[in-house]
Chains A and B, each alone.
Chain A
C-alpha cells in the first residue's frame, strides 16, 4: 500500500514537473477564466461587432469605445488568447515571497511593513495579494505592482514611433529610442549598487523628423518616491534644460500623448491617489499574433535579447482599409478583442498644476498592465481615451515572459476628433521597431546629462 502511494506520488510529481518545465504560466486556471469572460460578456470568438450590432458589446468596453463602435468608427472582432498572458513562474515566486513584507506609507510610497522605512530594493511585486474590496490602499498597491512589472525585462532599449492621425488620415510621424535602466526588480534577482538611490532611469532620444531630431529627455525616478528629476536636451540651443515635472502632463511634442500616458501611467505611483472602483471582465485589444503566442526573442551575441519585429502593425489609414464600412484612420485592424478581468481604478493627481482632471485606468489582473485609460479635463468634461496593447516577450530560452513595451497605444482626443498612435516591437511602414531586453549596453553610466547631450548633436 505504502509502495503504491509512493509510486503515485512520484508519478504525480513527475507530471507536475513536466508541466512546470514546459509551461511558464502562473495561472493554471487562465483558460477557465477566459471562458468565464466569454460567458459573462456574452460574446464568442469569431464574432464581429460594429455600428449595426454594437449593443452586444455595450458592457464589455469603456463607454467612449462603445461610442466609437456605435458611430461606425470601430469594428470589434472577438478573439481568444492561446496562452497564459501573465508573468513567468520565477517572477511569481519572487512576488509571493513578498507577502506581508511591504506596506503603503503616508505619501503613498512603499515602505517596509516591519520598520516603516523605505526599502532599498524590491524584487517581484511588493503586494502579491490585493484585497480590493476592503483595502483603501488597494489602488496604490496595484499601481506599485504595475510599476515593478514594467521592470521585468531589466535594462531595455526600444525603438518606437509616434503617429499623428486626423480623421482624414496619417498626418506625420516621429521615430525615437527609449533607454530604460531599472535598479529594482533585476532580471537575475540580484541588486546592483545604487548610490544615487534611484528606482529607474529613463532616456528618450528623438531620431526623426529633422526638426525634432537630437532632442532628448532624461528622468531619474528616486527610491523614496519624491518628484523625479527631468531634464531635456534642446539641440537648437545645444543646452540641457531643467524641466518641471508638471510638464509630464503636457503634450509630448504636440501629440495627443503626455509623458505620463506611456504604458498607461509612467509617473510615480506616489504622485497620484488611486481608488479601485470595481473588478470585471471586459474586452481588450490584443494584436492577432500575440493572441497565438508571445514574441520569441533572439539572443544577441553581445548579451541581451531582441524582439523579432516580424508582424505588421496596421491601422485604418492604410489604403487597404479604405473601403471598410466601419473604419476611422486610427482603427487598429491588427487586433482581436479578447476577454480579460481588470481592475477599474480612479486616478487623481495630487499636483494642482497637473493638466488632466480625473482619470480612470483599467488594469489587467493577471499581467498588471494598463489596457485602457480615460481622461477627463479639469472641468470634469470627458476628454480622451487610450487603448493600450503590450507586447509579450519570451526570453531566456522561454524561461522569462515580460511585458516591457507597447505593441501600440491609440490615444483618441474625442474633443478634437484626432488621435495619436505610439508603436513599437513590430514592423511599421517597412521599418523594424525592435526592443532590446536585458541589454548590457544600458548601464547607469549613460544616464547622465552630459551623455544625453552627446546622444543629440
Chain B
C-alpha cells in the first residue's frame, strides 16, 4: 500500500511539473504563496456525570491541548493563463501536544501501540493522542477551461469533501469519516472531518436554456479510513475513546489499495432560485458496526461493511426572505447492533431511509439586536426523520435504535461588538426524550488574539438507549481556548 501511494504521489508530481512546463504553461511567471495559521491552547473540563445531576460537581480536566495549525497556499502566476494549468497547491499542517497525559496518571495504562507493532493504522495508542504531527490536507488543483465554457478541475491528494445541505446531521455527507479522537461532535466541521486521499474531478457546464450550471463530481477513493476514536484499551480509556471499560475495542480495517477503492458521484443542477444535487456513494460504512464474535477473549471489533448510498439534496432561495433546503437518502445496508443475530457478530444490515428539511432565516430588529450593531440574528431550523427498514425494536436484543426516529435542531448566531464577539446557540432535540445543547462564544479583540468558550451538555431520558445522543447526558463539557492567528 505504501508503495502504491508513493507511486501515485510521484505520478501526480510529475504530471504537475509537466503541466507547468508544457508549451502553454511555460509562461509560468512565479509562485504566489501565502502562509496563515494559528497557535492555540484548549483546555477541556468534563463533568463526569453530566450537568443533569449537578453542574460541574464531579469534574476532571481531560484535555490541555497546544496546537499549531497552518495553511500553505501556492498559486502559480501566469503571464498568459493557459487553458490547462496548475491552479493551486494547498497544504494544511496540524501539530499538537496534549499535556493532560503528562499531568495526570489515569491514562498511563494505555500503551503506545494497543495491538502491538504492525497492526491497524486506526487503533490509536497513547502517543497518537499525546502528540499530533499531521499533514492533514495536501492537494493540487489542475484546471482546464475549455473554449466552450466547460470548467474542469482535478483535485488530487489528501482532502475533505463535504456533501449536502444539512447542518448537524449527516444524511448524504458520507465521504470523509469523522475523527473523534480529540474532539466532540459540535466542533468546527473542518476539524471533525478526517481528510483522506481522493482523486476528485469536477466538471461544470456553461449555462444553457434555464440552467445556470450543470455539474458533475466524480470521486475515486483508495484510502479506506473509518471513523476514528481515541484509544480504548482493556486497562483504560482515553478521554475520547469509545468507553467500554475492561474490553479492547479494535478497528477491523478495510484494506486500502487501488484494487479496493470507494467511489462517489454527484450531479448538480442549478436553475433560477433552485439548486439540486443527486448523489451516489459506494464505500465502506464509516461508523462502526460492533462485532462481538470475539467478546469471549475480551475484544470488540469495529466492522465497516460495504454499502451504497443514493441521495438527493436541494436548496431554494425564497423571494419571501428565507432559504429552504432539504436532503433525502437511501442507505442500502446500515449495520445495527442486534444480539438476536444468528451469525454471532451481533449486528445486522438494514436499509435506512433518511429525510431532512431545513429553513434558514435572518431576523432584523429595528436596530439589530442589542449591541449587535445592526447584525441580524441568523437562525437555522432542521427536522430530521430516519426510518430503519425491517427492524423490530427489542428492549434487550435490539435496543440501539427504533424503527422511526425524529429529531429537530435549532442554531442561532449573531455578531456583537462589530464582529469581535460571535455567540452561537445550538440545540438538538431527539424525540426519544434527549436534548443536547451547545453554547459557544468566540471573542477576537484585534483579529489576531482570540478566546473561545464552549459548553455542551445534554438532558433527558438516560435509559433511551435508542437515542443517538443519549451517551452525551453523562458527560457535559466546558472547553476554554486561547490562541493567536498569524
Contacts and interface: CB of A to CB of B under 8 A. Distances in A.
Interface of A: 164, 166, 171-174, 195-196, 207-211, 213, 220, 227, 229-230, 235-239, 241-247, 250-251, 253-256, 258, 301-303, 351, 353, 355, 377-379, 381, 383, 413, 415-416, 418, 420, 440-441, 444-446, 448-451, 453-454, 457
Contact of A227 (B315, B319, B366, B445): B319
Q: Which 8 A-B pairs have the closest CB atoms?
A: A254-B419, A172-B447, A238-B162, A353-B321, A254-B415, A196-B207, A210-B36, A450-B204
B385 interface: no
Given A172-B444, A451-B151, A255 B376 contact: no
A254 B316 CA distance: 25
12 contacts: A230-B317, A242-B317, A301-B79, A355-B368, A378-B367, A418-B373, A444-B149, A445-B145, A449-B204, A454-B153, A457-B73, A457-B90
A230 B79 CA distance: 31
Contacts of B374: 250-251, 258, 355, 377, 383, 413
Contacts of A239: 162, 164-165
A209 B485 contact: yes
A450 B153 contact: yes
B204 to A, nearest CB: 4
Interface in B363-397: 364, 366-368, 373-376
B333 interface: no
Given A210-B38, A242-B275, 19 more contacts: A164-B447, A207-B34, A211-B485, A227-B319, A241-B315, A244-B318, A244-B322, A247-B376, A250-B362, A254-B422, A302-B81, A355-B368, A379-B366, A413-B373, A445-B151, A446-B151, A449-B213, A450-B204, A457-B73
- Indicate the size class of the contact surface on chain B: 35 or more
B206 to A, nearest CB: 7
A445 B36 contact: no
B317 A164 contact: no
Given A209-B448, A302-B80, A451 B204 contact: yes
B52 interface: no
A453 B188 CA distance: 18
Contacts of B79: 301-302
The listed residue with most A CB atoms (<10 A of its CB), out of B87, B367, B422, is B367
Contacts of B127: none
Interface string B473-486: 00000000000011
Interface of B: 27, 34, 36-38, 71, 73, 78-81, 87-88, 90, 92, 137, 141, 143, 145, 149, 151, 153, 155, 160-162, 164-165, 188-190, 202, 204, 206-208, 212-213, 215, 268, 270, 273, 275, 315-319, 321-323, 325, 360-362, 364, 366-368, 373-376, 415, 418-420, 422, 444-448, 450, 485-486
Contacts of B368: 355
B448 A378 contact: no
Contacts of A172: 444, 446-448
Nearest to A450: B204
Contacts of B323: 241-244
B362 A210 contact: no
A454 B81 contact: no
B36 A244 contact: no
Contact of A164 (B207, B419, B422): B419
Contact of A454 (B37, B141, B215): B141
Nearest to B211: A196
Contacts of A449: 204, 213, 215, 268, 270, 275
A164 B447 CA distance: 9
A240 to B, nearest CB: 8
B36 A213 contact: yes
A441 B275 contact: no
Contacts of B446: 171-172
The listed residue with most B CB atoms (<10 A of its CB), out of A235, A247, A251, is A251
A318 B76 CA distance: 35
B207 A195 contact: yes
Contacts of A246: 321, 362
Nearest to B139: A457
A450 B364 contact: no
Contacts of A209: 36, 447-448, 485
B419 A445 contact: no
Contacts of B190: 235-238
A413 B143 CA distance: 43
Contact of B418 (A196, A254, A446): A254
Nearest to B202: A450
Contacts of A441: 81
A247 B34 CA distance: 30
B160 to A, nearest CB: 5
Contacts of B270: 449
B445 A171 contact: yes
A446 B144 CA distance: 11
A302 B321 CA distance: 43
A235 B162 CA distance: 10
Given A164-B418, A171-B446, A457-B71, A450 B151 contact: yes
Nearest to B275: A242
Contacts of B422: 254
Nearest to B212: A196
A411 to B, nearest CB: 11
A418 B88 CA distance: 38
B315 A242 contact: yes
A440 B79 CA distance: 11
A33 to B, nearest CB: 37
B367 A381 contact: yes
Nearest to A356: B374
Given A229-B212, A454-B141, A244 B206 contact: no
Contacts of B325: 242
B432 to A, nearest CB: 27
Contacts of B73: 457
Given A164-B418, A196-B207, A378-B366, A450 B215 contact: yes
A413 B88 CA distance: 39
A353 B364 contact: yes
A196 B448 CA distance: 42
A256 B418 contact: yes
B447 A302 contact: no
B34 A253 contact: no
Contacts of B444: 172, 211
B366 A454 contact: no
A267 B187 CA distance: 35
Contacts of A171: 418, 420, 445-447
Contacts of A383: 367, 374
A247 B361 CA distance: 10
Contacts of A208: 34, 36
Given A246-B321, A449-B215, A173 B447 contact: yes
Contacts of A381: 367
A195 B73 CA distance: 34
B409 to A, nearest CB: 15
Contact of B204 (A195, A243, A256, A448): A448
A318 B291 CA distance: 66
B208 A195 contact: yes
Contacts of A444: 149, 206
